[in-house]
Structure 1
Amino acid sequence: MTTVSRRPGLTPRHLTRTAERLSFIYLERCTVHRDANAITATDAEGTTHIPSATIGTLLLGPGTRVTHQAMSVLGETGAAVCWVGEQGVRYYASGRALSRSSTLAEAQARQWANPRSRLAVARAMYRLRFPDEDPAGLTRQELLGREGRRVKDCYRAAATRTGIPWRGRRYVPGDFTSGDAVNQAITAAAQCMYGIAHAVVTSLGCSPALGFVHSGHELSFVLDVADLYKTEIGIPLAFEVAAQDEEDVGSRTRRALRDRINETSLLNRCVDDIKGLLLPEGEATAATEADGDSVTLQTDGGHQIPSGINHAGPDDYEDGLW
């Protein structure tokens, strides 16, 4: 068994916890480069320095170029990078996990692998979205039916509140402008939330693919997490933006969503919600405190023993260390 090298004590990725980062930064028509541990955005108006360790998600819009050095430091700091096209936002790549511990990844795998616990997590997700309902005992089909009705009610309520005519959700993949203003705003908000959720999921070391509601896609768990805040934040904000003006809906939605996420401390909440869903009650804090370079070996009975040691015993080898 080989040993895993320990990381240096101070690197850029240790500076800022996921919950304390900026939700996302949107850049367009500029060149993104690196200066020490910051990234720079250079356009016709000059150069702006952005501390890389404070970024949760970097959205690269039309006309952006990014250098290898910039991607290197973003990868070190665990930031997610999304390329944003004129047809909407699409997740393209991400950095390394900020967490050194596999606690959350292992907990996610255990919960996902058992059909009963997988359904229990899906019910807990529904309870987070709609705390006024008790989903205990509901089947998956019943959960989906209730969720669909609640989302439709949310659309109608937001339309009534903002005075926007609502003719239903309309989105053609690959054609962002095919929908009306409010549908464009809903799409922009949803896709940004997917990028943010992906950044949090990967930074915590979880698997984006092991979903509890969604399935069969590399981002199933990301979609699960993003949907937790759809009816509370995404949909109402999209209607508010569309009600103000029908011009430049996509960019205005992104800016408004960024402000709303900051106001509601959504990143911090997202981290807590993921830990609460995956870990037994009372273990979330312990998982955070135990985020170190601790590598052990699995043995029978679920016991963990130290790694980096030859467990054949001193009678077989002169030195117990590999």
Structure 2
Amino acid sequence: MSNNYGAPKAELNELGRIQDRISFLYLEHARVNRQDSAVTVTDQRGTVFVPSAMVNVLLLGPGIDITHRAMELIGDSGMAVVWVGEHGVRQYAHGRPLDHSSKFLEQQAKLVSNRRSRIMVARKMYQMRFPNEDVSKMTMQQLRGKEGSRVRNVYQEQSQKTGVMWERREYRVDDFESSTPINKALTAAHQALYGLSCSVIVALGAAPGLGFIHTGHDLSFVYDFADLYKAEYSIPIAFEATAKHGNNDIADWTRRMMRDAFANGKLLARMVRDLKNLLSIDENLRAESMHLWDDKQGLQKFGVQYHEYEDGDDER
């Protein structure tokens, strides 16, 4: 039975694992509220209940009215929230890490703050795209050129495969309708992929803004990460959607096709493994408890009272 306060906050072991969750849910023109541990979505057709711990990312389109209590539940359950424009061309916010741990964030900050380790991670990302080649000696300029050539080839291959004419990638964030159908489809497909990528990043506790290749944007790492999967997912699906539907509700059709491609959870599980590999996260490392940092004695216990000595040192 529901009450004014809702159900108690879920414990960590009660929340669904990232790879077991539904990839994303797109909503528009509806009111989003909370009842117990479920997000409620109400429009002119009625109300549906969405278990908060079973969705990775919630895409909120135009006409959404969401309550503070719903956002509280979403944040507690680790669901990423992406506020999107009319055709899904922007994203703004996200929830808290699922395990409330800082191990991913600390490792990411450590790697991105050192020039040598940053290049190492960037090369890892490029190596994933060129598994049969050694990129360990290439400069960032060489890697960018190599990646640019690969993506151009992917566009041309998909154009030939689907019969969709391809010239170049172009779009305006403030004028979605001015783009060609294939560019609209690519924008919608990439946006869905960014949403899922952002969900995995923040759910594991990494920072969307600390990129290794992209930099200077609050979603730099999301763009880094999503680029690993565009050639397999968003680009082929955008061309397929355009071939099937032309300019007829192309953004909606593309989102649905991306959702269907994510449905089996294989990409989600792969993203989790890839993120751990990129950041060199020890699978057995658990850092869910808070500590106090000490420059001489290492991590110290949190939640105990310390006493001051005359020389300024502390004791438990």
Q: TM-score, normalised by structure 1?
A: 0.88
Residues 88-103 of structure 1 correspond to what in structure 2 (within 5 A)? 88-103=88-103
Distance 1:152 1:12 in 2: 44
Counterpart for residue 53 of structure 2 = 53
1:291 Cα deviation from its structure 2 partner:
4.9
1:258 counterpart = 2:259: yes
- Superposition deviation, residue 229 in structure 1: 0.5
- The farther-off stretch of 35-44 and 92-101 is 92-101
Please name the residue that 2:271 is paired with. 270
Structure 1 residues 40, 13: closer, same or farther in 2, change over 3 A?
A: farther
Tell me whether 1:298 sits opposite 2:293 in the alignment: yes
Per the TM alignment, residue 305 of structure 1 is displaced from its structure 2 partner at its CA by: 2.9
- Structure 2 unaligned regions, length at least 5: 1-7
Rounded to whole Å, the distance in 2 between the matches of 1:237 and 1:320 is 61
Give the match for residue 5 of structure 1. Answer: none
CA distance in structure 2 between the aligned counterparts of 1:28 and 1:13, rounded to whole angstroms: 31
Alignment partner, residue 108 of structure 1: 108
Query: TM-score normalized by structure 2?
Result: 0.90
Residues 28-177 of structure 1 aligned to structure 2 (within 5 Å): 28-177=28-177
Q: Indicate the larger mover: 114-123 or 201-210.
A: 201-210
Specify the alignment match of 2:284 in structure 1: 286
- Asked if structure 1 preserves the Cα contact closer than 8 Å seen for 2:23 and 2:57, the reply is yes
Q: Does structure 1 conserve the Cα–Cα contact (< 8 Å) formed by 2:87 and 2:188?
A: no
Q: Give the Cα–Cα distance (whole angstroms) in 1 for the partners of residues 175 and 210 of structure 2.
A: 29
| 82-91 or 212-221: bigger deviation | 82-91
Task: Indicate the structure with greater helix content.
Answer: 1
CA distance 1:301–1:129, shift in 2 (3 Å): farther
The change in CA–CA distance for 1:254 and 1:299 in structure 2 (over 3 A counts) is: same
Contact 1:57 1:199 (8 Å CA) reproduced: yes
Supply the AA of the counterpart residue of 2:301.
Answer: P
Residue matched to 1:19? 19
The code of the aligned residue for 1:52 comes to S
Counterpart code for 2:293: Q
Number of residue pairs the alignment of both structures matches: 306
Instruction: Give, as a single letter, the amino acid of the residue that structure 1 aligns with 2:182.
Output: V
Alpha-carbon distance in 1 for matches of 2:192, 2:300: 42
Alpha-carbon displacement from aligned partner over 1:107-151 (angstroms, at most 9, x marks no partner): 111111110110010010011123233211010101111111100
Contact 2:82 2:92 survives alignment (8 Å): yes
- Secondary structure at the aligned position of 2:89 is classed as strand
2:98 aligned counterpart, secondary structure: coil
* Cα gap change, 1:48 to 1:12, in 2 (>3 Å): farther
Once the two structures are TM-superposed, the CA of residue 308 in structure 1 deviates from its matched residue by: 3.0
Counterpart residue identity of residue 240, structure 2: E
Could you tell me how far 1:154 is from its partner in structure 2?
0.5
Q: CA deviation at 1:230?
A: 0.9
Percent identity (aligned) = 45
Aligned residues of 1:87 and 1:174 also touching (Cα < 8 A): no
Give the Å deviation of 1:10: 4.1
Which range moved further: 305-314 or 11-20? 305-314
1:168 CA displacement: 1.3
Unmatched 5+ residue regions in structure 1? Answer: 1-7
- The corresponding residue for 1:197 is 197
CA RMSD, aligned part only? 2.3
The 2-side partners of 1:149 and 1:255 are apart by 29
Q: Say which is worse superposed, 194-203 or 156-165, in terms of deviation.
A: 194-203
